[in-house]
Amino acid sequence: MAHMQIGAVKLECPVVLAPMAGIADLPFRLLCRELGGVGLAGSELLNARAIVRGIPAICSKAMPPPEDSPLSTQIYGSLEDPLPQAAAWAVENGAMIIDINMGCPIDKVCKKNGGSLLMKTPEKTATLAKQIIDACDCVPVTAKVRLGWDEGELTAPEIAKRLEDVGISAITVHGRTTSQKFSGAVCLDGIAKVVEAVSIPVIGNGDINSVESAMQMFEYTGCSAVMVGRHAMKEPWIFDDISRCLNGENANFRGRNAKIEVILRHLELILEHRGERAALHCITNRIALYGRTLGHIKPLKERVRLAKSADEIREALEAWLTTETSFAG
């Protein structure tokens, strides 16, 4: 398995956990790392203005513990926002990689002239990227983009080349346009065109939901790494599966008990780092996704979904672990 380098940061495997607001929080990143195969993880999306203003809830997300490494700290904002200052603050507080969000298609980000709206102004965006790079004191800066705004405005190869020219160390490409959001199939040809346009590493993103789709992304596009996003919510062990395949090994078989143990571990990590309220909110919402990998366990999902405490969630999961059979609930 080829290693990947982003600036001076060496990734042990070319498999990346995507930065996802409200999903890729510290407990989930630690869970994925413990399961194996995560060469790099992305932080949640961090608002540049909030960092500069010193809002504690945001700043704490930009200061990961040592075990959450290597981490790419993703910041977002518009051309007028203090992204260089926010990046400099993150670097001063231990960030190993700064990632600029140029690919978020969500309205609340784009309406503030951030996210993938930055792709509509390649020259100005490249100038902003250079300012961020200059503020980061040799810490590598990367960017995450989409193919373009829509099918008539596929600017990814152009903006990737401009970003490389100003010193960006790597580019992640989500193989959809902004107007698509998350609908339709990912366009591997679009990612391949970005790979052809630059000499820096390109990370392919979009529709990675199995070892097979990851291998197709590598082989078809020639990308240096793959990034897994939403699918990791129901199979956080997918990183380990992909990295094992890259090493010529078979994926670990995980029966129902092993998967329930993963949910229990996720619960404990949330309790440790975010508290019971967050644990209840996360696990009761995500049990449906986890459940898709567990077979016919409707009574278990219902017990977890209706739980009023972390202890109730734990008891429901452990009871199912013990019996290995369905129960009436």
CA gap 87, 283 in Å, rounded? 32
Q: Which one of the listed residues 104, 136, 187, 245 is annotated catalytic?
A: 104
Q: Take residue 169 and report the two structure tokens written for it.
A: 């160390």
CA gap 326, 6 in Å, rounded? 48
Which one, of 187, 231, 181, 182, lies nearest residue 209 by Cα? 231
> Any catalytic annotation for residue 13?
no
Instruction: Write the DSSP string, 56-105.
Output: HHHHGGGS--TTS-SEEEEEE--TTS-HHHHHHHHHHTT-SEEEEEE---
CA gap 177, 187 in Å, rounded? 9
3-class secondary-structure state, position 18: coil
Amino acid at 128: L
CA gap 103, 224 in Å, rounded? 19
Which one, of 161, 100, 173, lies nearest residue 132 by Cα? 100
> Which residues does the annotation mark as catalytic?
104
